[in-house]
Amino acid sequence: MLPNTGRLAGCTVFITGASRGIGKAIALKAARDGANIVIAAKTTHVNPKLPGTIFTAAEEIEAAGGKALPCAVDVRDEQQISNAVEKAVERFGGIDILVNNASAISLTNTLETPTKRVDLMMNVNTRGTFLTSKACIPYLKKSKIAHILNLSPPLNLNPLWFKQHCAYTIAKYGMSMCVLGMAEEFKGEIAVNALWPKTAIHTAAMDMLGGSGIESQCRKVDIIADAAYSIFKKPKSFTGNFIIDENILREEGIKNFDIYAIKPGHPLIPDFFLDEHPDTITKKMESHDALPELKEEKSQPPPKPRSGAVAETFRIVKDSLSDDVVQATQAIYQFELSGEDGGTWFLDLKSKGGNVGYGEPSDQADVVMSMSTDDFVKMFSGKLKPTMAFMSGKLKIKGNMTLAIRLEKLMNQMNAKL
């Protein structure tokens, strides 16, 4: 872990979305230096699904050695932003660092993204970042430290990152374009940079998307907090950079990244938008996979070389089903498989005991997954991660994305049997 230096003692850090997750982790890291933290977030009352409020975060920040100012802020509301900035300046005398962390996500394709969800992502991610920056800039210009840090990705224009979740990509890239523009506009006065993780980070939001068990493929929020802290130590001349957490920490001398892993040694999910092509990552993961590849038997009839693989996969899936699995999943999946021995199959994890079969399910599917038969078998045998299949375009998903990601946990349980 990156040690604290005390450099941020007395500095005022304004963080959106700081009641939990990455925002709170950055706040706590700065608080250990004795910084003043403005917690600008929406949650004022306990939510059973999302732990943490601006007040519980404030208690943790004070306990860590910082001073906290909890402010109820929805970054879609310009007046709430202005009020929080005024309170921060009144309480602490100015603002030295702004972290635009608040974000909304929907990994849905164009036709599956409701207008209200498009508006939410654009208004929180792009517009919220712009308005919060605009409100803080007059005070940042007076600071000796003067940093804006957006939690947003490098501007990678590979169409791969647009095809599956166009609206989300536009909204996140809007945050990155604020970096591009403001870094140039305020050069010499304010350092404006972006920070993005190399791998998935374990947060409450990730649990909601991926379900329990997803954390073993993630790193802790600490890696982002340490990376942000190393950026804040840099001068105003360090600006206009799109920084990957692992890269900047390597420059700081960190060599052992297992300290950041939830489960050291376990394969990690690469994050979206990075330059390394997901197909390359998938191949790397497959090449290091200890599971034997499902090969067709030589005695199998040549017209249908895969005839046994898909049916056998579903047979093993069926044998793995239980009331507990059904209760934990509560979804019906339909698989549209292309290529030889393709067709429509279903996995019913709503009916008592669960069921699988060829053809369409008796009730409407919650999720429809389209892929080749080869990739289907690889996915269920653990040789192709669903996340990577989706990111690389091998897997197309229609319907409830949360339920789609939840299926990955079930696949992990079956890997040893396939």
3-state SS assignment for residue 195: strand
Both tokens of 176, joined, read: 């990155």
Query: Residues 38, 12: contact at Cβ < 8 Å?
Result: yes
Residues facing 201 on adjacent strands: 219
Helix axes 401-414, 307-320, angle to 10 degrees: 90
Distance (Å, rounded) from C-alpha 285 to C-alpha 281? 6
Spell out where 169-247 has E strands.
191-196, 242-244
Distances (CA, A) of 393 to 162, 325, 368, 396, 414: 11, 28, 15, 7, 23
Name the token pair of 332.
Answer: 């019906």
Alpha-carbon gap, residue 408 to 343, rounded angstroms: 22
Is residue 138 within 8 Å of residue 148, measured between CB atoms? no
Q: Does residue 139 carry a catalytic annotation?
A: no
The C-alpha atoms of residue 388 and residue 270 are separated, in whole angstroms, by 8
Cβ contact 357:341 at 8 Å: no
What CA–CA distance (Å, rounded) separates 173 from 45? 31
DSSP 155-223: ----THHHHS-HHHHHHHHHHHHHHHHHHHHTTTT-EEEEEE-SB-B--HHHHHHH-TTGGGGSB-THH
99 bridge partner residues: 15, 149
Long-range contacts of 87-91 (CB under 8 A, 24+ apart): 87/38, 88/12, 88/14, 88/38, 89/139, 91/36
- Amino acid at the residue 176: S
Q: Which of 168, 173, 260, 333 is catalytic?
A: 168
Instruction: State how far the Cα of 94 lies from the Cα of 309, in Å rounded to an integer.
Output: 65
Contact between 178 and 159 under an 8 Å Cβ cutoff? The reply is no
Amino acid at 345: W
Q: Is 139 exposed, middle or buried (0-12, 13-18, 19+ CB in 10 A)?
A: buried
Count how many residues are written for the chain.
Answer: 418
Q: Are 268 and 43 in contact (CB under 8 A)?
A: no
Active site residues: 168
